[in-house]
């Protein structure tokens, strides 16, 4: 008998019929003798609806009160799901985040989990209950309701799995796993049977949106094997079949991992960034800080950064920011930074895309970067910026070539071949 935490996303609990299906799926696992903690999101669209209501009253809602409102979506689904289980004759009991308690810091709207009191859950599990816990929400030390940021119920589930030392965390969603790239762009994209946490983090950072990035960090840190799988299959497929379905996110040393040995695991892309260049700044200590310090102080995240080799005591610095921060970043640089550092000009481009290849195999294979650059060159795609990590190579290119670049890279690294 294993202890399993199962998370169901908004689509999976999007209607009464779907909630009944979730209950059937959970009941099936329970009947096989496993201990189950189930974490539902709010019904699809509900969190958006609640936030919109709040904004009708206050265009910039008070953060504490916004969490009071936003957290209600999950309170509905835990109750409904418990009822659906009871209707099937399965003992079940629901808990809100503050009832558990899932203790967080006080950063409303984006709180971080500090501790989980698992006493009540363990007691119920020992009695054979299915324990249904609200995702996305917690409570701070002063007793205020908090939420974990959009998509936060992934993190709730993984954190519960970590606290309970669960054998596996199942994330049921509307896709059937993690793919080598977005199948809407490359129909030949394949579902990965396994991927490492490191790769998954790089894929998420590079634009793949399967899981909330923080949940992956959490799962990696606490070594929670996490499986992404579809809730849209027949809820009564066998437990044995479902236990192998989807994509298992795991560790390099997991024996399951050996089965997949491709050098590259996936191609990710992101069209949400914009590029800013600061031209002809004096090439001396402190200049990167003089440019990026004020950007950081304004809470603008910087992603790819490139500084050129100096020439005649001058250099250029280029970096990317989220597109929604682009105008603010340029204004800040022109207003506050340019007068001090006396650069020649500040220019930018919003029509860029970031395309990345990710894979553990890169560490032991030379020539991967060269192969990537050759593939892009053969299509006449100009590379504007390059950044690398141990297991990722990212290029910034003109946005209109995104799909082409993803397609040719997917093919060049044979990701279409099982």
Report how far apart, in Å, the C-alpha atoms of 38 and of each of 77, 170, 184, 216, 217 are: 11, 9, 30, 18, 20
Across the strands, what pairs with 40? 8
Burial classification of residue 322, based on how many CB atoms lie within 10 Å of its CB (0-12 exposed, 13-18 middle, 19 or more buried): middle
Does residue 73 bind Mg ion (CB under 5 A)? no
Quick one: 9 or 220, whose CB is closer to ligand ASP? 9
Does residue 194 bind ligand ASP (CB under 6 A)? no
Pick from 6, 12, 47, 315: which binds ligand ASP (CB under 6 A)? 47
Does residue 179 bind ligand ASP (CB under 6 A)? no
Q: What φ, ψ does residue 117 adopt, rounded to 5°?
A: -90, 110
Q: Tell me whether strands 247-250 and 194-196 are parallel, antiparallel or unpaired.
A: parallel
CB of 214 to ligand ASP, least distance (A): 11
> How far apart (Å, rounded) are the C-alpha atoms in residues 95 and 312?
66
Pick from 40, 151, 152, 348: which binds Mg ion (CB under 5 A)? 151
Quick one: 102 or 391, whose CB is closer to Mg ion? 102
Pick from 14, 97, 138, 151: which binds ligand ASP (CB under 6 A)? 151
> How far apart (Å, rounded) are the C-alpha atoms in residues 346 and 360?
37
Q: Which region among 21-29, 41-49, 92-100, 112-120 touches ligand ASP (by CB under 6 A)?
A: 41-49
Does residue 135 bind ligand ASP (CB under 6 A)? yes
Is 74:136 a contact under the CB 8 Å cutoff?
Answer: yes
Q: Site residues for Mg ion, window 295-334 (CB under 5 A)?
A: none
Does residue 138 bind ligand ASP (CB under 6 A)? no
Pick from 94, 153, 194, 215: which binds ligand ASP (CB under 6 A)? 153
> How far apart (Å, rounded) are the C-alpha atoms in residues 304 and 348?
14
Pick from 5, 23, 39, 42: which binds ligand ASP (CB under 6 A)? 42
150 binds, among ligand ASP, Mg ion, none (CB under 5 to 8 A by kind): ligand ASP
User: What distance lies between CA 12 and its chain's CA centroid?
Assistant: 18
CB of 98 to Mg ion, least distance (A): 21
> How far apart (Å, rounded) are the C-alpha atoms in residues 383 and 387?
11
Pick from 11, 12, 21, 41: which binds ligand ASP (CB under 6 A)? 41
Is 202:358 a contact under the CB 8 Å cutoff?
Answer: yes
CB of 183 to Mg ion, least distance (A): 19
Q: Tell me whether strands 273-282 and 247-250 are parallel, antiparallel or unpaired.
A: unpaired
Does residue 40 bind ligand ASP (CB under 6 A)? no
Binding site for ligand ASP (CB under 6 A): 9-10, 41-42, 47, 73, 135-136, 150-154
Binding site for Mg ion (CB under 5 A): 9, 151
């Amino acid at each position: 008998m294993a202890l399993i935490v199962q998370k169901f996303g908004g689509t999976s609990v999007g209607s009464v019929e779907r909630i009944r299906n979730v209950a059937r799926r959970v009941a099936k696992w329970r009947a096989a003798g496993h201990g189950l903690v189930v974490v539902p999101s709010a019904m699809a669209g509900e969190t958006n609806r609640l936030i919109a209501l709040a904004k009708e009253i206050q265009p910039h809602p008070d953060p504490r009160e916004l969490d009071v409102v936003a957290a209600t979506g999950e309170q509905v689904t835990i109750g409904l799901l418990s009822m659906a289980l009871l209707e099937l004759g399965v003992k079940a009991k629901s808990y809100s985040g503050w009832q558990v308690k899932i203790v967080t810091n006080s950063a409303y709207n984006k709180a971080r989990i500090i501790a989980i009191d698992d006493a009540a859950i363990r007691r119920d599990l020992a009695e054979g209950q299915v324990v249904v816990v609200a995702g996305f929400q917690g409570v701070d030390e002063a007793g205020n309701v908090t939420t974990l940021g959009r998509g936060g119920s992934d993190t709730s589930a993984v954190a519960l799995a970590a606290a309970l030392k669960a054998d596996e965390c199942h994330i049921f969603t509307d896709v059937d796993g993690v793919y080598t790239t977005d199948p809407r762009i490359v129909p030949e994209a394949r579902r990965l049977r396994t991927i490492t946490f490191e790769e998954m983090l790089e894929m998420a950072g590079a634009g793949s949106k399967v899981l909330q990035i923080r949940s992956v960090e959490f799962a990696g840190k606490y070594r929670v094997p996490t499986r992404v799988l579809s809730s849209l299959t027949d809820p009564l497929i066998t437990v044995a079949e479902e236990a192998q379905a989807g994509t298992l996110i795991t560790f390099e040393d997991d024996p399951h991992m050996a089965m997949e040995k491709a050098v590259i695991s996936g191609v990710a892309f992101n069209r949400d960034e914009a590029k800013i260049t600061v031209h002809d700044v004096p090439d001396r200590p402190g200049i990167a800080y003089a440019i990026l310090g004020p950007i950081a102080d304004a809470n603008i995240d910087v992603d790819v950064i490139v500084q050129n080799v100096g020439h005649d005591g001058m250099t250029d610095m280029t970096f990317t920011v989220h597109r929604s921060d682009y105008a603010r970043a340029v204004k800040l640089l022109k207003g506050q930074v340019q007068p001090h550092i006396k650069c020649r000009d500040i220019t930018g481009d919003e029509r860029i895309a970031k395309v990345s290849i990710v894979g553990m195999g890169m560490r032991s294979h030379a020539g991967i970067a060269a192969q990537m650059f050759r593939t892009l060159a053969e299509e006449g795609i100009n590379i504007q910026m390059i950044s690398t990590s141990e297991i990722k190579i990212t290029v910034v290119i003109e946005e209109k070539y995104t799909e082409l670049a993803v397609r040719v890279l997917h093919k060049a690294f044979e990701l279409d071949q099982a």
